Amino acid sequence: MKKLVTHGCSFLKFLAAPLLLFCTGTVLAQQIGPSVLNLDDVTTEYPRPWDREALVVLDFTVKSDGSIDDLKVVDGFYEDRFVDAAIAAARQLRFEPASERGEAVDWPGFRLSTRFIIRNMFHTMGPNPNSELTRAEDLMRENKANEAEALLEKALTENTHLYFEDAVFHLRLGEIYLATNRPAQAVHSLDRAAQTYLPDEHNDFNLETAITHNRIFVVNIPEIFTDDFMSTRLQVHHMDNAPRKATPAPLRGGAQRGQGNRSAGGVQRPKATLEVLNNTLLESAYQRAWVANISSGNVAAVMNVYDNLLSLNEDAVSEQMETQAGQVRQLMNAGQRMTSAQVIERGETIHYPVHRILAAVNVNGTIATLDFQCADRVIRLPFQAEVEWNMPESWGECAMRFRGEDGATFNIVEFPE
């Protein structure tokens, strides 16, 4: 396997101003990430009562003997019972441990999310979250962004019970970040808003096991009501190296609880469905994510958002977006140097590069490691600022996952080959 190496000071020619460089050409020690051996055998129990949804994101260490340790919750919305269920699922996992120079090593920061979903239930917002959202919107209109931000952050941790609520809160937070000139933070919040309902969640009207998506394992719990049943999902983050692609969800027939009645003549079409709500929310999230990624210089993410929005509703793509998309394509094809702004949120940030030669510069804060999440491997290197990274072609398409302290900022410079 090729080593990832620095190429001395060769990238000075691309920069207008000099940088402090690591110029020795040293081959850096790298670790190959652990592999899950039994993901399809893991079961996740939906803890009763079945009265809310939950997202539990765990970090843990995969030890050199394949066991796990140091479990901690790093993100989500949940009650303790969901944390217990997520940890119980994580403990069922068995791993081929990470390795360095052929020796097994510990791998901190393995991330796993468990999604607890109530299917076929018509979701809007509960009275309390709706009241908090209304108040936050009023504060935004009064130009009190700091107060609105604090209110929404508190609501996310204390009063979120459904994915729809989580998404709307993050959508509004993304708008606040844009209004206060924090596009990199907006990217994170708007990405969360766009991940509210993954394909085949909430809109599957049968009891068959749903398809897997991006290495997500799906379990259906037995039917509860005539139209409602639960599902859970486990997502191994470090293996999920592709941006989400939009899946158009046309209006379906079929009663949803509280929205339609069964009759001898069949099922009445509800006046509104979750797909309509979800698509409206996704439209808003993608439109704002477009602005955030343009402002941050995340070229690959810009085009992914554009493709998602076009797939979802081509009428939602404005003439200005069409023009900007053309300009971005020209930039990608012209082989020009590109710079994007990044920020660590919830312990990490993920970047999808266009070019294979990169450097991280203007670092403010602590960044511990860099994972190259490629099609068939995950490669971890100790982070070094202002060093040129050259991804071998043999690795295929890769995403870059930076792990560090929340709030750390930096720029990624991509160079033409």
pLDDT at residue number 249 = 34
- The whole-number pLDDT of residue 406 equals 96
Residues of the chain with pLDDT under 50: 1-27, 204-229, 240-273
Q: What is the 3-state secondary structure (H, E, C) of the chain?
A: CCCCECCCCHHHHHCCCCCCCCCCCCECCCEECCEECCHHHCCCCCCCCCCCCEEEEEEEEECCCCCEEEEEEEEEECCHHHHHHHHHHHCCCCEECEEECCEEECEEEEEEEEEEEEECECCCCCHHHHHHHHHHHHHHHCCCHHHHHHHHHHHHHHCCCCHHHHHHHHHHHHHHHHHCCCHHHHHHHHHHHHCCCCCCCCCCCCCCCCCCCCCEEEEECCCCCCCCEEEEEEEEHHHCCCCCCCCCCCCCCCCCECCCCEECCEECCCCCCHHHHHHHHHHHHHHHHHHHHHHHCCHHHHHHHHHHHHHHCHHHCCHHHHHHHHHHHHHHHCCCCEEEEEECECCEEEECCCCCEEEEEEEECCEEEEEEEECCCEEEEECCCCCCEECCHHHCCEEEEEEECCCCEEEEEEECC
User: What residue segments make up the domains of the chain, in order of their start?
Assistant: 1-32+336-417
Residue 123's pLDDT is what? Answer: 58
pLDDT at residue 1, rounded to an integer: 31
pLDDT score at 178? 94
Q: For 363-411, what is each residue's pLDDT tens digit? A: 999 999 999 988 888 999 999 999 999 999 988 889 999 999 999 999 9
pLDDT per residue over 306-332, tens digit each?
Answer: 998 998 889 999 999 999 999 999 888
Given this model, what pLDDT does residue 216 score? Answer: 26
pLDDT of residue 49: 80
Q: What is the predicted pLDDT for the residue at 14? A: 34
